A and B are shown apart, each in its own frame.
Chain A
Amino acid sequence: MMAQTDSSETPLLEVLNLRVEFPTRRGTLVAVDDISFDIKPGEVLGVVGESGAGKSLTGTAVINLLEPPGRIAGGEVRLKGQRIDNLPQEKLRHIRGRQIGMVFQDPLTSLNPLYTVGYQLEETIRTHMNMSEGQARKRGIELLSEVGISAPQDRIDQYPHQFSGGMRQRIVIALAVCANPSLIIADEPTTALDVSIQAQIIDLLKRLCHEQGTAVMLITHDMGVIAETADRVAVMYAGRLAEVGPVQNVIKQPYHPYTKGLMGAIPTVGQKLERLTQIDGAMPRLTEIPSGCAFHPRCPKAFDRCDTERPDPIAVEESKVACWLYDDARVLSGETEQ
């Protein structure tokens, strides 16, 4: 676990009231609704949620790679204090890859099948760093051996289809770290892989980021991966943040009823339970997000206020929880109980 960074330190990435919309013929869909978080240098922030929670969109919105008609409709994204959400594409291209690296879920679609791995590595290195062809190739071979590919001097001239899934994901990671970015956005990097390979990839990401002090925004639906890797966790539900806090708190002692349900729903090895906790119903569609707190129709602890007013994140110890149960008035009158 990484040492807790000083809270007065300026965050590497700040996201303030980010809102992503999709205009459609039947009205505007709000896919990411007013979320704020930050990532400190060298920190691993896990972003979890079920499908449709808007976690991948948050990742792509940070580097402004949203597919039209999706667009950032409000809020700010700041990298090292500088706004990047309103930069022209031309300038953003220098930030993507150079300062922010990306790792996507499917390693086959993020590599070009028509070029050798070496060509793709060299191209990326030379785009971002002032290097000659020979230097770039040397650096490429170094990177491949760093991500654990054996005989890199031979394999650098092979095509992506000649590598297995786990190997391809290693190459994608090599591409993401090749310009020493200060932030890597990893969107479900291990979802397509087997458990044994998953452990290898997580280990690799952790090691590289630790060595180079790179911050990671790790987007996944797998709580196990989060528990092992992240320093802090943001839990998303229906495009909103439900809870943000240190990983121990979120996993072991979640505050938000949704996080509690989510943790109870995960079976654990060696713990023989008759039934898993289940959250009835399903995540609402974007067209029919409930009023007030988006989770209230499924929430076992909902009361009338949840139906009408939308909760803002409320600080509870080190976490921030968007739930009326933790509103000051109720906490003071002793109404909440664990």
Chain B
Amino acid sequence: MTDVLQDKRPSVQPSGPLVSVQGMSKYFDVSPPFLTRVLQGRPRRALRAVDDVSFDIPHGSTFSLVGESGCGKSTVARLLVGLYQPTQGEIYFDGSAVSQLKTRRHLADFQRRIQIIFQDPYASLNPRWRVRDIIAEPVRTHRLLPEGAALRKRVAELLDHVGFSNKDGEKYPHEFSGGQRQRISIARALAGDPEFLVCDEPTSALDVSVQAQILNLMKDLQKELGLTYLFISHDLAVVSHISDYLGVMYLGRLVESGTASDIFNDPQHPYTRMLLDAIPDLEMSGRKRIPVAGEVPSPMAPPAGCHFHPRCPFADARCREEIPGITESKNVRVRCHAVEEGRLTPEVLAEAAAART
């Protein structure tokens, strides 16, 4: 399938977005073992964790990916930082294609400029290292500063950035709480002076009051250092707070993307509408929350055509057979036949909402 947007994308020019992902796919081989295949005549199988995903992240902005578990958002994060290699498609970082970075020097520079913060602050810090060594690791790996006073000064500066005093650097990770550890992860990610931070569910393991501390810190750092974020979360309220741009994923495909305000104010894809409907109502406005029918199908055997059709109230024969392409509708890019055909008129939507309650 050709991407409608490819021709418009000025990604190879230096003025383009910091990160541009074009037609990226990642398939995992989940075939049965060789002998089983031969003896029982079973075929090879591929799990399409990420399927033809394209998006741009402009300099200094936050792009969020949302979706339910198993939709491939963490795989996108790992692809972007180079922990996986894409099966198809290309990632452009600051204008240059990542797969073309062949020399060690170019690769090291790319790796320094792009860093990741993981979900679990208990598993992502080495329990045997002092915090100052954890934070200094990227600096040492990339030989950015000589050992000694300069490095110590840099670590102190980083600790200060995330709200610790210099003497906290002498402690070990177990002496800190979950939120504090996540701040240490952020300090470590910032150590190499990166431009792009991939944050894979950085607050989902934290309590709300601590989550607020981390979100505020991330916003402050973005302003101060001009960072660009890819923020991954399943919590739509957190996403609406932090994002400039938003992508909604469902079973490996990016079903809707655009600016966060456009999507939150006027969602186009039926899945996005349902997700937004499912958010608990904290305002207690009496709005009836309409639960989404059904569950996410297994990514091993996704439905044909549009993956969402078994749960979609607007699905027709075409949705069951044909994979929807990208349509531009009201500033957002949507993969949906119903939106493309203009079937989702306000009357149809009102009728569907009435039928579900």
Contacts and interface: CB of A to CB of B under 8 A. Distances in A.
B291 interface: yes
A228 B279 CA distance: 10
Contact of A269 (B212, B264, B292): B264
Contacts of B292: 196-197, 199-200
Given A197-B295, A200-B291, A228-B289, A276 B212 contact: yes
A199 B264 CA distance: 19
A219 to B, nearest CB: 14
Interface of B is mostly: helix
B171 to A, nearest CB: 15
A278 B216 contact: yes
A227 B68 CA distance: 22
A164 B280 contact: no
Given A267-B238, A267-B241, A195 B284 contact: no
B297 to A, nearest CB: 10
B85 interface: no
B151 interface: no
Contacts of A268: 237, 240, 282-283
Nearest to B298: A164
B241 A262 contact: no
B274 A196 contact: yes
A274 B215 CA distance: 10
A251 B285 CA distance: 12
Interface string A254-283: 000000011011111110111111111011
B160 interface: no
A213 interface: no
Interface string A148-168: 000000000000000010110
Given A223-B208, A279-B209, A269 B275 contact: no
A261 B237 CA distance: 17
Interface string B267-307: 00000001111111111100001111001100000000000
A251 B282 contact: yes
A221 interface: yes
Contact of B213 (A166, A267, A280): A280
A167 B298 CA distance: 14
A221 B207 contact: yes
A223 B237 CA distance: 12
B209 A195 contact: no
Of A166, A264, A273, A282, chain B has the most CB atoms within 10 Å of the CB of A282
A265 B211 contact: yes
B202 interface: no
Interface of B: 68-69, 177, 179-180, 207-213, 215-216, 219, 234, 236-238, 240-242, 261, 264-265, 274-284, 289-292, 295-296
For the complex of A and B, the 6 pairs showing the least CB-CB separation, nearest first, are A224-B280, A267-B241, A265-B212, A196-B292, A50-B207, A199-B291
